[in-house]
Amino acid sequence: MLRRWCIPLAGLALAAGALAASAPAAAASHSARPAVHLIRPAMHGTAPMAVRGRSVNAVQSLNWSGFAAHTTTYTKISASWIQPTAHCTASRTFSSFWVGLDGFNSRTVEQTGTEADCVNGQARYFGWFEMFPAFPVNFSNTVHAGDHFTGSVTFNGGGHYTLVLKDITGGWSHTVQKTLNGAANSSAEVIAEAPSSGSTVLPLTNFGTVHFSNAQVNGAAMGNANPTKIIMVNSSRRAKDSVSALAGGTAFSVTWLHSTR
């Protein structure tokens, strides 16, 4: 199974995993389990970025890109996205696109989303959910590049969560009820991620550009929550992708630049 996580360079955290609502995908071109054990942990990040000595509302991360709200407690995150195309070479590369609670400044992550991986030159697409630090669970439904997805994670109180992933184009959906006691509910995020295997961040798939829209935190436009932009970089602080501004408080895009760790 795969696991994904957000690794902040300054010490942010994320988590996800749990039992599956359906069986893992079979080895097919559009819906298959990866050949490595993937995880999607908390964000590994750095201190805030600066431009000409001026601090900006952005941080760098080894494994996450996107936006995270993290100034209070949160009960719901939701967004839509278009499954990007994996541009594959002979290299094995991996990428995840998801919504979730926690992980930016805590050690758990409750999340659901999709994958775009490259194995032996072939693209592998599938959906999943994760209640990190538990292992992720992959859905068996077929996923194609260009499919329109919506996802949400809701905290219902008492450690209970509802995770929903819908493939509008493919006509399938999963609603998963999970329990995780002690989660902080201290952040809400919409993320493009380089998944990890063990403690290693894996090479990022060339996914071109992924478009997120209708991002909402606690039922209102994400922009109202003053979210922090997250830029994925490698160990030399070279950007692995670029993140646009949050248009209208609800929409942004992430564009791949490099695969290197």
Question: What secondary structure letter does DSSP report for 1?
Answer: -
**Tens digits of per-residue pLDDT, 93-152?**
999 999 999 999 999 999 999 999 999 999 999 999 999 999 999 999 999 999 999 999
The predicted model scores a pTM of: 0.86
pLDDT at 2 (0 to 100): 45
pLDDT at 198 (0 to 100): 83
Place of tokens 């994400």: 222
* 166 contacts: CB under 8 Å, gap ≥ 6: 149, 150, 151, 172, 173, 174
Tokens coding 222: 């994400």
**Tens digits of per-residue pLDDT, 58-97?**
899 999 999 999 999 999 999 999 999 999 999 999 999 9
At residue 9 the predicted structure's pLDDT band, cuts being 50, 70 and 90, is: very low
**Tens digits of per-residue pLDDT, 196-249?**
998 899 999 999 999 999 999 999 999 999 999 999 999 899 999 999 999 999
User: Which helix (H) or strand (E) element contains residue 155?
Assistant: strand 148-157
pLDDT at 217 (0 to 100): 98
pLDDT at 47 (0 to 100): 55
Sign of the C-alpha dihedral computed for residues 163, 193, 196 and 142 taken in this order: positive
Region label for 11, one of left (φ > 0), alpha (ψ between -120 and 50) or beta (otherwise): left
Span between the terminal Cα atoms of the chain, in Å: 21
pLDDT at 37 (0 to 100): 74
Residue 13: is its pLDDT beyond 70?
Answer: no
pLDDT at 257 (0 to 100): 97
Q: How many CB atoms lie within 10 A of CB 29?
A: 11
**Tens digits of per-residue pLDDT, 158-180?**
999 999 999 999 999 999 999 99
149, exposed or middle or buried, with CB in 10 Å at 0-12, 13-18, 19+?
A: buried
* 70 contacts: CB under 8 Å, gap ≥ 6: 104, 105, 186, 187, 188, 227, 228
pLDDT at 188 (0 to 100): 98
| Spatial contact of 132 and 15, defined as CB atoms under 8 Å apart | yes
Backbone angles phi, psi at 224, to 5 degrees: -65, -20
At residue 39 the predicted structure's pLDDT band, cuts being 50, 70 and 90, is: confident
Domain 45-256 has CATH 3.40.50.720: no
